[in-house]
Amino acid sequence: MKLNFDPHAVPSPSYVVDEGLLIKNLELLKSIIDRTGCKILLAQKGFSMYSVYPLIGKYLNGVTSSGLLEAKLGFEEMGKEVHTYSPAYSEADFDEVLSYSDHLVFNTFDQWRRFKDRVKNHPKPIECGIRINPEYSEIEVDMYNPCFAFSRFGVTLENFEPEELEGISGLHFHTMCEQNSDTLARTIKVVDEKFGKYLNLKGMKWINFGGGHHITRPDYDIETLIESILFMKEKYGLDVYLEPGEAIALNTGFLVTTVLDTMQNGMPIAIVDTSASCHMPDVLEMPYRPEIVGSGKPNEKSITYRLGGPTCLAGDVIGDYSFEQPLTAGDKLVFTDMAHYTMVKNNTFNGMNLPSIVLNTVNDGPKVIKEFRYDDFKERLS
């Protein structure tokens, strides 16, 4: 892959999000909206770089949030539809959540009963939905599977309370992770078989397919997605919402880092100024191996390094990578696909500063949006 910015020209470490690549993803998502009349929301859990919310809002219909803070951010920074789903709303936050939200999804009928008067008494009309658990998912890792045994996400068919649906205008499911549309088509079939009788009820206006749709990946089958959306629209006359996070920012961002030192201990080792634990925690949690521009798999190129971060956590290891030339202090390394589930998850463990946030703009090249300093570290502690 060829970089279209100079990694020496941005702060290190920094997340560099490429505006042109983001627009490409957004155009594809917009084409699905245009072809089906569905609505697509940004799941802020995956990507909350709010300096680009105005841009995202030109293409998509709004945001989805997991609670008060994300709802407020989406309301303030995008100002389009704000949907909120929380596994459990707190009494203390609920009225403020209401004030920012257009759609609220409840995880249980108990929560719906507890809060429905507050919704009804609110001056603004709010669409309410129930999250269902169709007990069908093709995710093999429990950590990311909302339908694993004893999952806390959503109401199963057995626990569904049709007599409590007055005031409910939609159902929501979220059972996918980084999957293609064939998985969606099979999931829709289960949702239709199990919950179709409720989708058919008079008060039902919408269904939300959740996230996990890997729409912007090169081999994604758009036509099957379109068929799934149109199936639900036509069979039940519902509006269809999708709320991907990852797909919006997929392959649009980089993490630029600098080699701080190299050493030997049975193999060459390089310490870089970014940390797996603090700045790309999915590398340790998923786990997965991010790509570095110009590098190879271990032993593919002439010299293989184990790359680690500057924290004191022994396991803060990013992985093994081979290079044509030995690394030296000051070299820049550029990790790819670092926009989603990075900035939103980072932390300042061990006094690590947060990477700067840079937008590589279409017209003017890299623009530093934000740099972090001691005060940001200190503010989170007391």
Annotated binding-site members for substrate: 246, 282
- Does 62 participate in binding ligand PLP (rule CB under 6 A)? no
Instruction: Quote the tokens at residue 271.
Output: 């310490």
The tokens for 230 are: 């149109």
- Between the alpha carbon of residue 241 and those of residues 37, 61, 71, 140, 322, the distances in Å are 10, 9, 17, 25, 43
Minimum distance from residue 287 beta carbon to ligand PLP (Å): 17
Token pair belonging to 380:
């989170």
Span near ligand PLP by CB under 6 A; candidates 40-48, 91-99, 355-363, 364-372: 40-48
Of 182-221, which residues contact ligand PLP (CB under 6 A)? 210-212
Among 21, 32, 40, 45, binds ligand PLP (CB under 6 A): 45
Residue from 62, 245, 319, 366 touching ligand PLP (CB under 6 A): that is 245
Q: Is 85 in the site for ligand PLP (CB under 6 A)?
A: yes
Min separation Cβ 214 and ligand PLP, Å: 8
Q: Which of 261, 256, 273 is nearest to 338 (CA)?
A: 256
Binding status of residue 81 toward ligand PLP by CB under 6 A: no
Would you count residue 177 as binding ligand PLP (CB under 6 A)? yes
Contacts of 150 (CB under 8 A, 6+ apart): none
> 43 vs 358, which CB is nearer to ligand PLP?
43
Strand extents, DSSP E, the chain: 14-18, 39-43, 62-65, 81-85, 103-106, 127-131, 168-172, 206-208, 239-242, 253-264, 268-272, 303-308, 317-323, 332-336, 356-361, 365-370
5: helix, coil or strand?
coil
Q: Transcribe 29-83 into DSSP letters.
A: HHHHHHHH--EEEEETTT---GGGHHHHHTTS-EEEESSHHHHHHHHHHT-SEEE
Number of residues that bind ligand PLP (CB under 6 A): 15
- The yes or no reply on residue 134 touching ligand PLP (CB under 6 A) is no
CB neighbours (10 Å) of residue 90? 10
Which residue lies nearer to ligand PLP by CB, 209 or 321? Answer: 209
Compare residues 85 and 198 and give the one whose CB is closer to ligand PLP.
Answer: 85
Q: Per rule CB under 6 A, is residue 174 in the interface with ligand PLP?
A: yes
Closest CA to 276 of 313, 327, 329, 328: 313
Q: Is 116 in the site for ligand PLP (CB under 6 A)?
A: no
* Among 12-20, 95-103, 121-129, 243-251, the segment contacting ligand PLP (CB under 6 A): 243-251
- Residue closer to ligand PLP by CB (options 115, 173) is 173
Of 43, 191, 225, 318, which one interacts with ligand PLP (CB under 6 A)? 43
Q: Which residue is nearest to ligand PLP (CB)?
A: 211
Angle at 150 (CA atoms; ends 148, 152), nearest 5 degrees: 90
Q: Which residues in this chain contact ligand PLP in the complex, by CB under 6 A? A: 43, 45-46, 64, 85, 174, 177, 210-212, 243-247
